[in-house]
Structure 1
């Protein structure tokens, strides 16, 4: 018997309503995912070192290595308790409910521009290379070619977004889906950052662009990466990304460093790739005069 510490408000409500069943999809050191039979989406159970995120429940354990979880283990809810086969029972009594909510960008962007310049320089110095951030050396011709493609395609996407050419921007976004190595390819992580920024204004005008990116991603990348893109397309992202945007808008330089480091530590190069997507999305939005 284990207690949940915090979790996505919609996930918790599904447990309360006993409207959740499925099977274990994938297992990692600090998280495991299960596929919900009711809506087809992936849900994540995370250990206590992971930040809140969409479709995620954070529980009071350090890791999942010793729980004997297996792919296809049955997931079900009974009496508001989430069960994973006969191996794990998760109670939601006194769980802290969390909701993904992005801040709106300010009308006066001078401070934001200063923080953005600082963030770009910090990523250049401390970000992890090998994805969107170019590696200093390449060990194989494949790595060199992959890096070249990422540089070219992200540049084309940024240029089209800045000039509000959304039809060709969609083509370049599609060319990034699934591009790169790792569980969540660098191109996908970059798009998560871009889609996040597109959702940070009150007069959201590019809903159709976001929806089309999701449609393209369905068949072009893996299910875990697809879910991140799907959620980012409607402004639902993990807590550390939201805090980073808050720091960019209202925080001190120290706040920005603290929140940026949390993002940069996500995955291998995933955090850096997402952060660079945020940077490029903000640059495009500023160049477009806020029209994005």
Structure 2
């Protein structure tokens, strides 16, 4: 028996109601993903070293390697227990419920402006290059061209958003889907950060948050299942705990907390954390330039 430490409230509810069946979709050292027959979503079982997230259950193990979970293993629920074949049983009895709650955009953006400057300086030094952050050292021609495409398309997207041309911005956002290196491509990670900002209540772009759903609806065939699921959730304001922690840190004057939260985000994946963080900066600066506040 393995105990779940915490988990997404809706995921826990589905297990308690015994309405969850599926199969293992993909496996990694620290996570494995389950395809759910009931709604077609992916759900993640993550080790204790990772943060909470949408459709995620954190379990009391350090790594998934010894569990010998395999793709296509059947998954079922009975009496508050999640079964992976007959190999493992996961109990949610002691699991703390977690919800993705994005903070409200501030009425006064002065603190936010100062923190964004600090955030950009930190990423310039500590961020991982190769995705949205350009590599100073030119790599092969293909990587250089992808990097140029990412830069060009993000700038085109920003220009349309700032000129209140939301419909014209849509193809530029879609053009980023699936673009770049990584299990979750850099363009997708960048959009995850941007979608998060669209979902901040009271922000200038909050009334246009349906834009995010318009993008992800066109993304299904453009990227992989895992990345698509991340975009789908981010489009409605459901993102990882580390992203929410950073947003909260950006809204107060506490450098230690800001850099601690930022560093945790930057440690996600290879360049994923950096790409998400740059999407957040992009979204925040677009909000500020578009009007600053709606209170």
TM-score, normalised to structure 2, is: 0.97
Does 134-143 or 29-38 show the bigger shift? 134-143
SS at match of 1:7: strand
| Displacement after TM superposition at 1:85 (Å) | 0.4
2:232 corresponding residue in structure 1: 230
The answer to whether the 8 Å contact 1:162/1:283 transfers is: no
Aligned partners of 1:181, 1:128: CA distance in 2, in Å? 12
Contact 1:41 1:227 in 2 (8 A): yes
Q: 1:184-227 deviations in whole A, cap 9, x for unaligned?
A: 00000000000000000247311321111111111111110001
Q: Per-residue deviation at 1:241?
A: 0.3
Query: Of 257, 263, 266, which residue of structure 1 is paired with 2:265?
Result: 263
| Distance in 2 of aligned mates of 1:240 and 1:270 | 12
CA positional deviation for 1:251 = 4.5
Query: 5 Å matches for 1:98-109?
Result: 98-109=98-109
Q: How does 1:63-82 map to 2 (within 5 A)?
A: 63-82=63-82
Q: After superposing the two structures, state which structure 1 stretch, 256-265 or 197-206, moved more.
A: 197-206
Mapped to 2, the partners of 1:6 and 1:61 lie a distance apart of 12
Structure 2 unaligned regions, length at least 5: none
1:9-65: per-residue Cα shift (whole Å, max 9, x none)? 000000000010000000000000010000000000000000000000000001111
Q: In structure 2, what is the Cα distance between the partners aligned to 1:5 and 1:248? A: 28
Partner of 2:290: 288
RMSD of aligned residue pairs (Cα, Å): 1.2
Give the length in aligned residue pairs. 292
Distance (whole Å) between structure 1 residues aligned to residue 26 and residue 208 of structure 2: 33
Corresponding residue SS for 1:66: helix
SS at match of 1:217: coil
Q: Which residue of 2 aligns with 1:132?
A: 132
Offset of residue 290 of structure 1: 4.2
Gapped runs of 5+ residues in structure 1? none
Aligned to 1:164: 164
Q: What's the counterpart of residue 205 of structure 1?
A: 207
1:165 Cα deviation from its structure 2 partner: 1.2
Distance 1:288 1:127, change over 3 A: same
- CA distance change for structure 1 residues 98 and 251 in 2, over 3 Å: closer, same or farther? farther
The aligned residue for residue 111 of structure 1 is: 111
For residues 259 and 87 of structure 1, what CA distance do their matches in structure 2 show? Answer: 36
Q: Name the TM-score, length of structure 1 as normaliser.
A: 0.98
1:220 has 2:261 as partner? no
Q: Does 1:54 align with 2:43?
A: no
